[in-house]
Structure 1
Amino acid sequence: MNYSISDLEQLSGIQSHTIRIWEQRYSALKPMRTDGNTRLYDDTQLVKLLNIVSLNQSGLKISKICSLSEQDVELLLDKELQTVSPQTKFDYYVTQLIKFGLCYDETSFEALLSSCIGKFGILETYKNIIYPILVRLGLMWRKDDICPAQEHFLSNIIRRKIYSAIDGLELNQKVPNKTWLLFLPEDEEHDVGLLFAQYILKASGHKVIYLGAKVPLGSVKRVIEDVNIHNVLFFMVKLRPLKTAQIYIDNLQMICKKINIHLAGNGQTINQITSSSNIRKFNSLEEFENNIKDTSK
């Protein structure tokens, strides 16, 4: 797969200008060139950049890193994974996990992710490691319909970890505080964020009816008619015309009536939607957790 320098910027977290400087001064990367002289990078170059970024985050100078052999870089990375400092640990793990994912290295990805969950817990791991990975890969706020193979590969492993965390929750012996209905619209399929919301809600003592991705409004209506739902949560991730999004929200509000609706997703769309007082929009996990506290009162 080929990447533009803007793709490298998104995946590595390093600005394009800095990448160019590293190329010119230290021969960090050797991009291909199109007929129009545009830089193109392959998977090998991307992985090399991710390794450079990881070691730089651990405190090594770029000039030193770029003088090392590939073998020496791998040895240093293995060493750093054992001794990474608290200040840089999350960024370091994010970069290395993205590298393993892009290489389809399931063993290394799963081992490192499991280690993070063991050290920090699923909540902190999601906030500081998994969520940044999803954002960099465009899983949560992407603009197109086609999902690269690496995204499917990574998201499926992450799903397994979240399912495992959900299964590990103790059964709530008390009457649930509230009942939440979780789903994605029928043109949405990236459900990792929704799945983690299920974990947070269940861990907070709420009953959750999880419908998953690509759910028609008719199915949402049926559940609301059959069950006493207190809160509805869904994501609008895809970039869509404002008019289309508004029609969807209006139809959902007619179905939900006085039920609290919680919405997150593509800020370019949801922040322009006209909504009634029963719709709460949130842009971070912290806001969502505050919403949960408010609705539990």
Structure 2
Amino acid sequence: MVYSISDLEQLSGVQSHTIRIWEQRYQALKPDRSDGNTRLYNDEQLKRLLNIVSLNQSGLKISKICNLSKHDFNILLDQQLASFTVDKHYESIVSQLINYGLSFDGNSFSRLLDRSFSDIGPVGTYQEILYPLLVKLGLMWSKDDICPAHEHFISNIIRQKLFAAINALPGTTSSSESWLLFLPEDEDHDIGLLLASYILRLNGKNVIFLGSRVPLASIKEVLNTTKVNHVLLFMMKGSMIKDVQNYVNQLSHICRNVNIHLSGNGQMIGKLNHIEHINWCKTLVEFEEMMKIPTIL
């Protein structure tokens, strides 16, 4: 794909001005130019920028990162991958799932995931197996060890299993609390949201699941036509803080009579102002515990 510098800003959370400085001072990226002299970036340059941001967040200076050879770059990414630990009891399962995913062996991947769901349940499977699996896949993508097709293949099987687990739960009554679940317009990955839907339904809540890339106008329309007690959204991308703040402010205005619950990128959410009225769910355990507390409406 071809990206503009504003696309890179949106996808990486790094301001366009900063990207230009990194290019001029450290040759971080080498964009092509259009006939009108507009910067144009490809997939490899986007990946390099995301890797630079990742290594910078781990404490390395931009000047050092940009002077690394590709070999040294991959060594640091390998170290990140090695430093991410998985409970030894589940490590072999995560490794098997990765191997099945890389070979596009959907039957074996599905059977192993079914066994995990049966043994420790969907929530336990997510905590102990799927979350480590998804983190490792992200790091492997950064090193070109996998391609987008692998990620889509694996993610779609996981989503199918979560949908099946949700459909197997008993229905809720019309008097149940209603939760509206969605992702903002620039968010795609809904596995965490699906798991939240499962937990809510397991606890007898009524769930209105809108999925990914939902405009704020649609949220307003739902709230105007349907009784909703709670709104839950995930914000994962490292977007510009000012843009996220503006979005949260607009959402708060739309949902002024509704309880808002937010989860996702902790580094980003922690920088937001005036969110005292929003329940920030930092962990899955926190969210599960919240379900055990009666809500006063």
Output the TM-score relative to the length of structure 2: 0.67
Aligned mate of 1:38, from 71, 78, 82: 71
Q: Which digits, 9 at most, give the CA deviation of each residue in 1:180-234, with x for residues without a partner?
A: 0000001111001101111110110000101000000000000011111111000
Query: In the aligned structure 1, how far is the partner of 2:137 from the partner of 2:287?
Result: 22
Q: Matches of 2:283 and 2:88 in 1, distance apart?
A: 22
1:104: Cα distance to partner? 1.7
Superposition RMSD on alpha carbons, in Å? 3.1
Structure 1, gaps ≥5 residues long? 11-34, 51-56, 58-86
Greater CA drift, 287-296 or 181-190: 287-296
Alignment of 1:1-297 (within 5 A): 36=69, 38=71, 88-138=88-138, 148-172=148-172, 174-294=173-293, 296=295
1:232 partner SS:
strand
Aligned mates of 1:171, 1:111 — CA distance in 2: 26
What secondary structure, in the 3-state scheme, does the structure 2 residue paired with 1:195 have?
A: helix
Q: Aligned partner of 2:90: which letter?
A: F
| 1:272–1:295 distance in 2 versus 1, CA, 3 Å | farther
The equivalent of 2:38 in structure 1 is none
1:177–1:296: 8 Å Cα contact kept in structure 2? no
- CA distance, structure 1, for counterparts of residue 157 and residue 164 of structure 2: 11
* Alpha-carbon separation, structure 1, partners of 2:206 and 2:159: 20
**1:107-143 CA distances to partner (integer Å, 9 max, x unpaired)?**
221111111112222221122111221233339xx9x
Q: Helix, strand or coil: the match of 1:252?
A: helix
1:37: Cα distance to partner? Answer: 6.9
Structure number with the bigger relative contact order (C-alpha 8 A, sep ≥ 6) is: 2
Separation in structure 1 between the aligned mates of residue 175 and residue 125 of structure 2, nearest angstrom = 26
Task: Work out the percentage of aligned pairs sharing the same amino acid.
Answer: 42
Superposed CA deviations along residues 41-95 of structure 1, whole A, max 9, x for unmatched, are 8xxxx9xxx9xxxxxx9xxxxxxxxxxxxxxxxxxxxxxxxxxxxx733122112
SS in 2 for 1:287: helix
Shift of 1:175: 4.5
Kindly provide the amino acid, as one letter, of the partner of residue 38 in structure 1. Answer: H
Shift of residue 150 of structure 1?
Answer: 1.4
CA distance in 1, matches of 2:209, 2:70: 49
- TM-score normalised per structure 1: 0.67
What amino acid maps onto 1:152 in structure 2? H
8 Å Cα contact 1:282-1:288 kept in structure 2: yes
CA distance in structure 2 between the partners assigned to 1:255 and 1:36 by the alignment: 49
Change (3 A) 1:156 1:176: farther
Paired amino acid for 1:100 = Y
Letter in 1 for 2:93: Y
User: Could you say what secondary structure the match of 1:263 adopts?
Assistant: strand
Secondary structure in 2 aligned to 1:129?
helix
State the number of aligned residues: 221
